[in-house]
């Protein structure tokens, strides 16, 4: 061990940063670095809404006898609080997914059911932009997995497709099953993603256009969660995109095998 680990506690957030000095860059060190970057990002991302909540609460206090200002500050306060709740819940989801015990509650999940649920969930948001949600042919396909996580992953893709699409366009969800591999593809006609960003969008907190994404309520964690959910289920996620012409995100998952082929006890 050539490197020196310097541990600095930041008492206010209870966060702990690990500084790595030296040039022995083994895998363990790299992981430690990733963890450190993540913590730094988390505190950075939380600082803005927490600061805003504090300021808005103060503004609210001093505007007590101006009803219009009170209403305005209160609306912004609740928007910031909502954003804070979203970031926090996504950070928790992500850390659960990375802890490895993610598939404790695996059960047989009907992919067609997941898709229909997701469509229902996003109907209002799609209607608001006059986006037509198009579902492909029904496919009988079963995945062994955590229904809530699979649902979250698909919902993140559909929410993004709607978010990054113009009004009056279409978002399609299609399911195919080939040689034991289930593909759930979400296609939009939106802004697309430049080639240089295509791998990076799956990184935590990465946004193609930071200012725009923040304004639209994006946290930069959605696709990272999708990637981890897919990987936890033995699958992956792929991206095809043409800037200006839209994107297709495809979650690929292994089809659940017949119960008779599964060792006893494994199906719960």
63 or 213: CB nearest ligand ADP = 213
Residue 254 CB partners (closer than 8 Å, separation 6+): 143, 180, 181, 182, 233, 234, 235
Min dist. Cβ of residue 52 to ligand ADP (A): 18
User: HSE on the CB side for 128, CA within 13 Å?
Assistant: 8
Q: Which two tokens stand for residue 222?
A: 């959605």
70 or 119: CB nearest ligand ADP = 119
29 or 187: CB nearest ligand ADP = 187
| CA–CA separation, 174 and 187 (whole Å) | 8
3-state secondary structure of 214: helix
Min dist. Cβ of residue 70 to ligand ADP (A): 30
Min dist. Cβ of residue 223 to ligand ADP (A): 3
201 or 256: CB nearest ligand ADP = 201
Residues binding ligand ADP (CB under 6 A) = 156, 160-161, 164, 188, 190-193, 201, 206-209, 213, 218-224, 247
24 or 130: CB nearest ligand ADP = 130
| CA–CA separation, 241 and 135 (whole Å) | 20
Min dist. Cβ of residue 147 to ligand ADP (A): 21
Min dist. Cβ of residue 169 to ligand ADP (A): 11
Report the candidate in 132, 248, 251, 126 with the shortest Cα–Cα distance to residue 193: 248
């Amino acid at each position: 061990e050539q490197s020196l680990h310097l541990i600095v506690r930041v008492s206010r957030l209870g966060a702990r940063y690990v500084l790595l000095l030296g040039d022995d860059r083994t895998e363990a060190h790299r992981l430690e670095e990733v963890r450190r970057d993540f913590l730094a990002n988390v505190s950075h991302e939380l600082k803005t809404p927490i600061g805003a909540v504090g300021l808005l609460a103060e503004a609210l206090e001093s505007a007590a006898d101006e009803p219009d200002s009170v209403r305005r500050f209160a609306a912004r306060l609740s928007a910031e609080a909502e954003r804070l709740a979203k970031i926090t819940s996504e950070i928790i989801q992500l850390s659960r997914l990375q802890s490895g015990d993610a598939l404790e509650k695996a059960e047989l999940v009907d992919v067609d059911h997941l898709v229909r649920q997701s469509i229902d969930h996003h109907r209002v948001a799609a209607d608001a932009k006059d986006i037509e949600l198009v579902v492909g042919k029904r496919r009988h396909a079963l995945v062994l997995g955590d229904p809530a996580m699979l649902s979250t992953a698909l919902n993140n893709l559909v929410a993004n497709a709607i978010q990054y699409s113009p009004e009056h366009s279409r978002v399609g969800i299609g399911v195919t099953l080939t040689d034991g591999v289930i593909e759930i593809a979400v296609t939009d006609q939106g802004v697309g993603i430049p080639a240089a960003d295509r791998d990076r969008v799956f990184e935590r907190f990465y946004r193609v256009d930071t200012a725009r994404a923040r304004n639209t309520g994006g946290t930069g964690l959605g696709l990272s969660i999708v990637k981890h959910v897919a990987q936890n289920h033995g699958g992956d996620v792929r991206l095809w995109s043409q800037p200006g012409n839209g994107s297709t995100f495809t979650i690929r998952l292994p089809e659940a095998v017949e119960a008779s082929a599964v060792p006893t006890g494994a199906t719960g």
